[in-house]
Amino acid sequence: ETGVTQTPRHLVMGMTNKKSLKCEQHLGHNAMYWYKQSAKKPLELMFVYNFKEQTENNSVPSRFSPECPNSSHLFLHLHTLQPEDSALYLCASSQSRNSYEQYFGPGTRLTVT
Amino acid sequence: SQQGEEDPQALSIQEGENATMNCSYKTSINNLQWYRQNSGRGLVHLILIRSNEREKHSGRLRVTLDTSKKSSSLLITASRAADTASYFCATDASPKAAGNKLTFGGGTRVLVKP
C-alpha cells in the first residue's frame, strides 16, 4: 500500500450520468494530482493541487471537474462523459511542489457506455 | 511529442538475466524518475535522479543520467519473475515555483520468464 486510496476501483457509467471519483492520502503530503491513463497513450497529467489550490489544469474538458476540500482529499466529478473518456484514472500525492517523488493510488477503472 | 520516450517498448528475458531500458527526453530537467506499474494498477516510485547526478543505485536497480545526451537508463540486475511490469520514466522540468509536473513516457513492458 502506498498510502493513497481511491474509490471506487471500478466504475461503469452512461454518458448522461454524474459520478465522482474520490482520492485520499494518508501521507501528510501537500500536493495532489489527477492523471488519465488510456490504452496506447502515455500517462497524462490532468490537474495539480498544491495546499488545496489548483495550480495546473492541463487543458482538460469541463466535463471533468476537480475538487480539493483539504490537502488529504481530492475528488474528480464527472458529467456527460464520452466513450473516449474510458480509462484508468490515477490519483497521486507528493511531499511538496518541487523535486519529490509521487505516490500513486491504485486507480479507478472507468468505462463510459 | 512526449517529453520522455522509452526504448525498447517491450522486453522479454529469462529470470536471472539483466534488463536494461532507456529513456530519452527533449528539454532541460530538474530531475528524472523511474516508476513501475503492474498490470492495471497504480505506479510505484523506484528511483529519482537529479540533474546534477550521473548515477544512482537502489538495491538491484541502477540508473544513469546523461544530461548532455538527454537520456537515462534503468538497469535491473538478476531479474525475478516479480519484476514483470511496465516501467516508465518521468521528467520534471517545471519552473521552480510552478509545481511538480511530471511528464511520462510510453513505458517499457518487461516480461521475466521463470
Going residue by residue through chain A (113 aa), what tens digit of pLDDT does each one get? 779 999 999 999 999 889 999 999 999 999 999 999 998 788 999 999 988 888 888 899 999 999 999 999 999 999 999 999 999 999 999 987 666 889 999 999 999 99
The mean pLDDT of B35-57, rounded to a whole number, is 94
pLDDT of residue B93: 81
Smallest Cβ distance to B96: which of A45, A98, A109?
A98
The answer, for B59 touching chain A at a CB cutoff of 8 Å, is no
C-alpha cell at B21: 531500458
CA distance A25 to chain B (A): 14
Average pLDDT of chain B?
A: 91
The C-alpha of B16 sits at a distance from chain A's nearest C-alpha, in angstroms, of: 27
User: Which of A42, A50, A88 is opposite residue B106, by nearest beta carbon?
Assistant: A42
Out of A43, A48, A88, name the one closest to residue B104 (CB). Answer: A43
Tens of pLDDT, residues B48-102:
999 999 999 999 999 999 999 999 999 999 999 999 999 999 998 876 655 578 8
DSSP 8-state class, residue A30:
S
Cβ of A31 and B2 within 8 Å? no
Please give, rounded to a whole number of angstroms, the shortest distance from the CA of A112 to a CA of chain B. Answer: 17
With residue A34 as reference, give the H or E element that holds it: strand A31-37
For A45-57, the pLDDT digits (tens) are 999 998 888 888 8
In Å, the largest CA–CA distance within chain B is 47
Report yes or no: B41 at the A interface, CB cutoff 8 Å: yes
Q: Tell me how far apart the alpha carbons of residues B89 and B6 are, in angstroms, rounded to a whole number.
A: 7
CB contact under 8 A, B42 and A56: no
Enumerate the residues of chain A whose CB falls inside 8 A of the CB of residue B42.
Answer: 2, 4, 6, 90, 104-107
**CA dist B78 to A102, B13, B18, B52, B89, Å?**
26, 11, 5, 28, 21
Chain B residues in contact with A41 (beta carbon < 8 A): 106
